A and B are shown apart, each in its own frame.
Chain A
């Protein structure tokens, strides 16, 4: 029980939000995934998912590419190097907190 309280405060809140954590976790396991897949896996509404993706993109954690598959618009998301690093740090922080409480 030698938890440094500052470590808890240092947890990345942008990633810690459950919906965004789910998005980041999914993207960490793949090279890229489209909007439909993310929506199905997270169970979020289109608007909600869109809002979370925008926040993650603004933080530089994910890259969003808008293309077309035939005539259907396709939004493909992938984790950036910054996002991958931030996610790894987040996991390490969580592990530290769990192990020291």
Chain B
């Protein structure tokens, strides 16, 4: 507790490194995110994008450097990890809804167990967010009864029910059938309108253009280039970014 302060950015990473065996996934990442900022991270596969955002709520443990989230230093101290995870929501590529619980139960669980809400309060919160992602009518169903796009919207609602200050989205549309990408992107655009801090790994460049304050391009475990979306898409500074963009923008 005493190691958390309210100074500086929402997320401040400095010289963060991470190895998987002999493979260096992150090679000294420095990144500072302001409150309410929308950041899109892109780059070729294996460039460390997912690893980077997974370090922010410590789903992945970094090896070197420091990560401060909402004023809390992430290290071996478990109390800080709990505190950070309470303020940081996450949406995964493969949804990761709990298959043995209904949509409603998926959304109620963490607010009850972590925030200590009563069942009735948690249900109100859950229904209000399910309504916002336009899926409240499916609240009694199990995840397997929904389409991919619907499942991902539930996953977004589930994360929102914890009222996080920061939202991490790890390729939220990559596992979806093409016709479902739009409904999820629209939900994310609405989310962005709320003023929440968002860090999103995605190849949806239309989304980046429309929503991002800053685009970060990664390659081989490092941030190669960053800037405002207009500038990044019109005039990428590095050859690597140009190569990448020529492949994703068709």
Is the pairing of A and B real?
no
